[in-house]
Chain A
């Protein structure tokens, strides 16, 4: 009896908590709707504070992307404020709240931040929680920017105030498809997962672009994120006729290491193409197993060239080298905001949104970043990287013609 009654009490408690959270989220959101736009409204050009609300995942499954992005952004904010602010007068104030990698919590946190009269909202590096948070910013007339959520459905699902610091998944899929074609691969296998927009839609974008190039997708597999074993999928690939000469997957940690270990363990030597989610030391540490894996990302994380100053500054603040490119993209989001505020000459949420919409050629570390004329995903170069001797090696950087990029699927 005790065992039976326990979970039912827990369930009741969970339902009550959810209801309270939902109500508080709605209450905060309503309160903000009337307050936005009037938050910081000194005359254009006068000194003021740009209040940046960060609804990011400090814990949970998205912390691996949001934490380094925040570190990069805070480094930029510290440097800018030390120099007197953007243009010497617009100081940056960052308010950070943890969304715990949860869509409902993202909405709650976003509502709280919007109520604090922020100038701009930063949302998690994934579409699903960003949609939840972005809708509140949209209603309040505040621009929202995802750390690096790359699903192009994100701005479509939310509205004209939602942006992403990332290139679209359709764009990176096009780069991968063109590379596969250039390498002479004819038959591809794709492996996706219905568990997120990122893992669900990327294989479809790749298929569309690869088949438009004359290739053929001979098999399409699916996995559950965090599933115990990939043996069955590997058996399925082994049984395919014709055998694929390239395998494309948006799987990332911890699924990508599991998959490629099973794949190589079974003796399958087909080329493997991945996406920006695997740009991490974990992939490099797979040593021989990951040799030759080629993937799209924002840039090559190496302490050289344009990135060496960033490495020095990051190390000075955090006492370690950046582990992933997401630290750089976070800093670049700061550089983008820098260009936007210079353009807007204001801390007003509406002025910042308009300047963001019309931004052209902001200088990031990995290249120029624009939004004008796009679909509110960042218009930026896609780097193609191959793992050689457990190190990142640049194959090239690409900006596909938008007319040839698969259309975003909502």
Chain B
């Protein structure tokens, strides 16, 4: 029973972060057909802003708030400076642009701040654990689950009830039709980047608080995981991004928990093999749309 509780807590806390990250990617993919690999650097930037806030003596909640907002604004600026000029170019050009932005930001962090990681001091109340039954659950995980679930609920409300939420959902189905219905493409794309940046900001704060440090290359692994999550769920599917986050988390945690020690070094390889099996059953992802090719 304790093992099951621990498993579920681990799956939900990691899955929530993966879901937020994958949603950030999915929102951009919906409107631009682009997987933005610089999404991870938005997380890193959020981490540095959070660190700056804490080091300058701001209250923790204010530092978190400013960091998340910084993620959103940076994403909008990224769209304006890097992606708008090549918006009508091919998918490969957009992809290369996202790699270029990612590399540029990494080098800027390394040379402008430090190639070394920086410890992010979080309040001591976050570093202890709570007892639930016979299980001990760290407060960071409880916060991770709470923030993750609240953020996902807020997003659901946003997508269901707001104009821009509808527009992004509609764009995920058919971007051209949304344009024909009077939604300005530039505004929709800018807004999607802003939202994606805010999601990267929330995920970045959770990631940094859990890891205790921020470094220039921090964003690479999470964005890779988010990409896999988005593919499992179905590229461009917002529901799929959330489902994919929890599926990947469930696979990773299960393997980490129950794999025999001598097989453990192959964990990542086994994870990706399972992902490939899922994709062979659902070629467009679990919630992906079927595409028909015209000859």
Chains A and B are bound partners: yes
Question: Which residues on A are within 8 Å of B, measured CB to CB?
Answer: 1-3, 5-7, 9-10, 59-61, 63-64, 67, 194, 220-222, 224, 226-229, 231-233, 235-236, 238, 253-254, 257-258, 260-262, 264-267, 280-289, 323-324
Q: Report whether A231 and B95 are in contact in the complex, using a CB–CB cutoff of 8 Å.
A: no
Residues of A within 8 A of B256 (CB): 232-233
Min distance, Cβ A62 to any Cβ of chain B, angstroms:
9
User: Told that A224-B268, A266-B136, A323-B114 touch, could you supply 7 new A-B pairs with CB distance under 8 A?
Assistant: A6-B95, A222-B265, A227-B221, A229-B210, A262-B138, A265-B129, A267-B128
Give the CA-CA distance A59 to B106 in the complex, in Å: 9
User: Which of B10, B17, B119, B124 makes the CB contact (< 8 A) with A232?
Assistant: B10
Interface of B: prevailing SS: helix
Q: Report whether B116 and A323 are in contact in the complex, using a CB–CB cutoff of 8 Å.
A: yes
Residues of A within 8 A of B220 (CB): 226
Asked if B243 is at the interface of the complex by the 8 Å CB criterion, the answer is no
Give the CA-CA distance A286 to B118 in the complex, in Å: 10
Asked if B46 is at the interface of the complex by the 8 Å CB criterion, the answer is no
Q: Report whether A261 and B95 are in contact in the complex, using a CB–CB cutoff of 8 Å.
A: no
Query: A6-B92, A224-B267, A235-B257 are contacts. A282–B117 as well, Cβ < 8 Å?
Result: yes
Residues of A within 8 A of B36 (CB): none
Q: Report whether A67 and B115 are in contact in the complex, using a CB–CB cutoff of 8 Å.
A: yes
Min distance, Cβ B44 to any Cβ of chain A, angstroms:
11
Residues of B within 8 A of A231 (CB): 6, 9-10, 13, 138, 141
Nearest residue (CB) in A for B271 is A224
User: Which of A63, A233, A257, A280 makes the CB contact (< 8 A) with B110?
Assistant: A63
Which one of B67-75, B176-184, B188-196, B211-219 is at the interface? B211-219
Query: A253-B117, A261-B140, A282-B117 are contacts. A10–B95 as well, Cβ < 8 Å?
Result: yes
Chain B interface bracket (under 10, 10 to 19, 20 to 34, 35 or more): 35 or more
Nearest residue (CB) in A for B235 is A3
Nearest residue (CB) in B for A2 is B91
Residues of A within 8 A of B129 (CB): 265-267
Residues of B within 8 A of A284 (CB): 119
Nearest residue (CB) in A for B94 is A6
Q: Report whether B14 and A229 are in contact in the complex, using a CB–CB cutoff of 8 Å.
A: yes
Give the CA-CA distance A236 to B225 in the complex, in Å: 24
Give the CA-CA distance A222 to B252 in the complex, in Å: 13
Q: Report whether A257 and B119 are in contact in the complex, using a CB–CB cutoff of 8 Å.
A: yes
Give the CA-CA distance A6 to B268 in the complex, in Å: 26
User: Which of A7, A282, A288 makes the CB contact (< 8 A) with B124?
Assistant: A288
Asked if B112 is at the interface of the complex by the 8 Å CB criterion, the answer is no
Asked if B162 is at the interface of the complex by the 8 Å CB criterion, the answer is no
Residues of B within 8 A of A265 (CB): 127-129, 138-140
User: Which of B18, B91, B217 makes the CB contact (< 8 A) with A3?
Assistant: B91
Q: Report whether B116 and A253 are in contact in the complex, using a CB–CB cutoff of 8 Å.
A: yes
Q: Report whether A282 and B116 are in contact in the complex, using a CB–CB cutoff of 8 Å.
A: yes
Asked if B261 is at the interface of the complex by the 8 Å CB criterion, the answer is yes
Min distance, Cβ A142 to any Cβ of chain B, angstroms:
27
Min distance, Cβ A41 to any Cβ of chain B, angstroms:
38
Give the CA-CA distance A261 to B257 in the complex, in Å: 19
Residues of A within 8 A of B234 (CB): none
Min distance, Cβ A125 to any Cβ of chain B, angstroms:
12
Residue picked from B10, B138, B265, most chain A C-beta under 10 Å: B138
Asked if B90 is at the interface of the complex by the 8 Å CB criterion, the answer is yes
Min distance, Cβ B35 to any Cβ of chain A, angstroms:
9
Residues of A within 8 A of B293 (CB): 1
Listed by A's residue number, 27 A-B pairs whose Cβ atoms lie within 8 Å are: A1-B291, A3-B91, A59-B106, A59-B107, A63-B115, A63-B216, A64-B116, A222-B264, A222-B265, A222-B267, A228-B207, A228-B222, A228-B225, A228-B252, A231-B9, A232-B256, A254-B215, A265-B128, A266-B129, A266-B136, A282-B117, A282-B119, A284-B119, A287-B121, A289-B127, A289-B212, A323-B114
Min distance, Cβ A189 to any Cβ of chain B, angstroms:
12
Question: Which residues on B are within 8 Å of A, measured CB to CB?
Answer: 3, 6, 9-10, 13-14, 17-18, 33, 90-92, 94-96, 106-107, 110, 114-119, 121, 124, 127-129, 136, 138-141, 207, 210-218, 220-222, 225, 235, 252-253, 256-257, 261, 264-265, 267-268, 291, 293
List of 8 A-B pairs having minimum Cβ-Cβ separation, nearest first: A63-B115, A285-B119, A6-B91, A257-B212, A265-B138, A194-B265, A253-B117, A226-B221
Query: A5-B91, A229-B210 are contacts. A254–B124 as well, Cβ < 8 Å?
Result: no
Nearest residue (CB) in B for A252 is B117
Give the CA-CA distance A227 to B271 in the complex, in Å: 13
Q: Report whether B90 and A6 are in contact in the complex, using a CB–CB cutoff of 8 Å.
A: yes
Residues of A within 8 A of B215 (CB): 64, 253-254
Nearest residue (CB) in A for B29 is A3
Give the CA-CA distance A231 to B5 in the complex, in Å: 12
Q: Report whether B14 and A228 are in contact in the complex, using a CB–CB cutoff of 8 Å.
A: yes
Query: A222-B265, A262-B138, A285-B119 are contacts. A235–B6 as well, Cβ < 8 Å?
Result: yes
Give the CA-CA distance A6 to B91 in the complex, in Å: 5
Give the CA-CA distance A6 to B212 in the complex, in Å: 37
Min distance, Cβ A270 to any Cβ of chain B, angstroms:
15
Min distance, Cβ A65 to any Cβ of chain B, angstroms:
9
Give the CA-CA distance A289 to B96 in the complex, in Å: 41
Residues of B within 8 A of A282 (CB): 116-119, 213
Q: Report whether B213 and A253 are in contact in the complex, using a CB–CB cutoff of 8 Å.
A: yes
Residues of B within 8 A of A221 (CB): 261, 264
Give the CA-CA distance A13 to B91 in the complex, in Å: 14
Residues of B within 8 A of A194 (CB): 265
Min distance, Cβ B95 to any Cβ of chain A, angstroms:
6
Residues of A within 8 A of B110 (CB): 59, 63
Q: Report whether A229 and B10 are in contact in the complex, using a CB–CB cutoff of 8 Å.
A: yes
Give the CA-CA distance A264 to B264 in the complex, in Å: 24
Min distance, Cβ B273 to any Cβ of chain A, angstroms:
15
Min distance, Cβ B285 to any Cβ of chain A, angstroms:
12
Query: A228-B210, A232-B10, A287-B121 are contacts. A254–B218 as well, Cβ < 8 Å?
Result: yes
Q: Report whether A261 and B212 are in contact in the complex, using a CB–CB cutoff of 8 Å.
A: yes
Min distance, Cβ B93 to any Cβ of chain A, angstroms:
9
Min distance, Cβ A241 to any Cβ of chain B, angstroms:
14
Residue picked from A7, A63, A284, most chain B C-beta under 10 Å: A63
Residues of A within 8 A of B14 (CB): 228-229
Min distance, Cβ A33 to any Cβ of chain B, angstroms:
33
